[in-house]
Structure 1
Amino acid sequence: MIRHIVFFSVPEGGDADAVETGLSMLTENPHASVLEIGRNTRSDLYDEQVDFVVYGEFEDEAALAAYRAHPIYQKSTATVRPLREMRMAADYDTDKAVKTSRYVG
C-alpha cells in the first residue's frame, strides 16, 4: 500500500475555507482507498506552518497515478493552487516502511 501525505499552508489573510472546499473535492476521487482532509490542530510545540493535511491510502503506485490523472484531482489542484502558500508532499510504500526500532544503545 502507498500512503500519500500532503501538507498545505494558507497565506496570512487567505481564505482557509475555500482551500478546504477545494481540497474536499479529492474525497470524490475513486482511486483512493482512504482519503481524508484535516485542518491542523496546531498542537505541535515547534511548528505552526501547516494549515491542512491531505492523507490518502492507495492500493499501489498505479492507483496513485490514476488518482493524480483523474479530472477531480485536476479540478482540485486548479482551485487550490492559487489560494495556498506552501505545499509539501510525501509518498511511501508501507511494505518498505520501518516498523521496529533499529536503535542500538
Structure 2
Amino acid sequence: MIRHIVFFTAKSECDVEDILEGLSILKEIPHAMKLEVTANRKSDPISQVVDVVVYGEFEDSAALDAYKAHDIYQESIRRVRPLRELRFAADIEA
C-alpha cells in the first residue's frame, strides 16, 4: 500500500476554503482506497504553516499513477495552483 500525503499553504487565509473545494473534487477519482481532504487544525506549537492536507491510500503505484493521470486531478490542479503558495508531497510504502 502507498500512502500519499500532500501539504498546502495558501497565498492568503481567504483562499483556504477555495483550496479545500478545489481539492475535494479529488474524492471523485475512483483509484484511491481512502482519500481525505481537510484543513489543518494548526495545533502543533512548532509549525502552523500548513493550511490544507490531502491524505490518500492506494493499493499500489499503478493505482496512484492512475489517480494522478485522471482528468479530475488535472482540474483540481487548475483550480488550486493559483491559490497556493507551497505544496509538499510524500509517497510512502506502508
Give the TM-score normalised by the residue count of structure 1: 0.86
Provide the alpha-carbon RMSD of the alignment.
0.9
Q: CA deviation at 1:38?
A: 1.1
Amino acid at match of 1:58: F
**Matched residues, percent identical?**
56
Aligned-residue offset at 1:14: 4.1
Gaps of 5+ in 1: 95-105
C-alpha deviation, 1:15, in angstroms:
1.4
Report runs of 4+ in structure 1 exceeding 3 Å deviation. none
What is aligned with 1:12? 12
Corresponding residue for residue 78 of structure 2: 78
Partner of residue 58, structure 2: 58
Aligned equivalents of 1:13, 1:92: Cα separation in 2: 29
CA 1:62–1:14: 2 relative to 1, 3 Å: same
C-alpha spacing 1:2/1:13, structure 2 compared with 1 (3 Å): closer
Residue in structure 1 matched with residue 67 of structure 2 by the alignment: 67
Q: 2:32 is matched with which residue?
A: 32
What amino acid is aligned across from residue 32 of structure 1 in structure 2?
A
Matching residue's letter, 1:26: L
**What CA deviation, in whole Å up to 9, does each residue of 1:47-94 have, x standing for no partner?**
011000000000000000000000010100111001111100000111
Q: Is the 8 A contact 1:23 1:76 kept in 2?
A: yes
Residue number in structure 1 paired with 2:46: 46
CA distance, structure 2, for counterparts of residue 12 and residue 37 of structure 1? 18
Relative to total residues, which structure has the larger strand share, 1 or 2? 2
Q: Secondary structure at the match of 1:79?
A: helix
Greater radius of gyration (CA): 1
